[in-house]
Structure 1
Amino acid sequence: MSTGEGLTVDEGIRTLLMLMPRLVGRAKRIPIPEPLQSLDLAPRHLSLLAYLLFDGPLSVNELAGRLEVAPTTVSLMVGELSRKGVVDRHEDDADRRRTIVSIAEANRASVDAWLARGARAWRKALEPLTHEQREMFVETLRTYEREAAAEYDGA
């Protein structure tokens, strides 16, 4: 390790290279609540449902922006989840061209249970940090994801 001055870049890289597969493995083992198990939900659905759970009903375009995908991709996902009864969609009364998406009330508790463990773990990790430290941590993960994707896409 280091001499008390904090991790060197190489020490941090080594530590994270060992830690990341464990984090991903743990995330993949999060059990899907029984009422949702037969619905063939994938990680992409988890992200969409997390936004709806934490932020409430959103339009397809708002979801697309947050998920950083095309609105047509979100429309397809919402259509699939709607047919399975996981989400509800309806026209926005103020603008009938907009579709508003929300978690179906019958599945809200199951979706909440699916996301709760991870949310509690992130809360425990992030609460002790200052606002600036949280921003730096999140931006560091975003940078890693962006660079890893660029490396993979460029190969």
Structure 2
Amino acid sequence: ALDTLSSRYHINHIRISPYNSQANGIVERRHYDVREALIKSCEGEELRWYKSAPSVFWAERVTLHKATGLSPYFMAHGVEPLFPFDLAQATFLVPPPESDSLDTTALITFRARQLQKRREDIDAIREEVLKSRCRELTSPTAASVLHPQI
């Protein structure tokens, strides 16, 4: 099957020796980060990795690399990507990371979670907004705002 696809699409498949995997170390390093991000974004349900794959791959492509300070997307296209975040979908409201300094895997996982628009994240946000509204309505200043003195 690989030979047929290679000939049809003119792809030169390069094979490396399994005894010299260090020769392909740069590529394999990126695979490790993606694999770990897939596992983390599945949250214990590794058999459902395929549901997280699109968001993990997108997040990996738009995440800045320490060595270059650029994302692979920017290096390939010369512009920053437009994120598919939308205010109505509330994807940007994922709880912030617990640490200020994230390794590449953690950053990819965080961005993948943003893209997944998880129901539990949106439900938690909704609860916080409702609590905030209730606090505002019961505050002493709320009465003067809702019913100003004429």
Shorter-chain TM range is under 0.3
Q: If you compute each CA radius of gyration, which structure gives the higher value, 1 or 2? A: 2
Bigger strand fraction: 1
Q: Give the TM-score taking structure 1 as reference length.
A: 0.26
**TM-score of the two chains, using structure 2 as the length reference:** 0.27
